[in-house]
């Protein structure tokens, strides 16, 4: 933002000069430093327990597994993907 202040430019003029979106300039005014971490979900489902659950109940839906583990279906999907377990394919 020092360039903007140094040259006494508006947000739009600054965005146009650097050929970036106006929203980027606004965002950098609020928080000039980049984030150190990514917004990733924490691992709440232990891999060994999920593998056993899949072996014991291979035909269950994601929402059924999610209910047993106390998480969302999306969390179960990500955990299965992390473990490289795919859904049962029908012949």
Looking at the fold, whether 5 and 45 belong to one and the same domain comes out as no
Which pLDDT score, from 0 to 100, does residue 88 have?
65
Residue 68: which of 86, 81, 50 has the closest Cα? 50
Contact 69, 45 (CB under 8 A): yes
Does one domain contain both 47 and 68? Answer: yes
65/27 same-domain check? no
Residues 27 and 55 placed together within one structural domain of the fold: no
Are 45 and 19 in a shared domain? Answer: no
Q: Are residues 53 and 91 in the same domain?
A: yes
Number of domains in the chain: 2
Q: Are 43 and 12 in contact (CB under 8 A)?
A: no
SS3 32: coil
59 plus 19 within the same structural domain: no
What CATH number is attached to the domain comprising 44? 1.10.10
Residue 55: which domain range? 40-91
Q: What is the pLDDT of residues 40-66, one digit of tens each?
A: 667 788 989 999 999 999 889 999 999
Q: How far apart are CA 82 and CA 86, in angstroms?
A: 10
pLDDT at 40: 67
Confidence of residue 36 (pLDDT cuts 50, 70, 90): confident
């Amino acid at each position: 933002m020092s360039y903007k202040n140094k040259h006494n430019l508006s947000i739009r003029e600054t965005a146009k000069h650097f050929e970036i979106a106006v929203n980027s300039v606004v965002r950098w005014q609020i928080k000039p430093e980049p984030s150190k971490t990514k917004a990733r979900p924490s691992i709440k489902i232990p891999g060994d327990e999920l593998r056993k659950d899949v072996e014991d109940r291979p035909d269950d839906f994601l929402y059924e597994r999610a209910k047993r583990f106390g998480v969302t279906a999306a969390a179960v999907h990500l955990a299965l993907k992390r473990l490289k377990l795919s859904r049962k394919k029908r012949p």
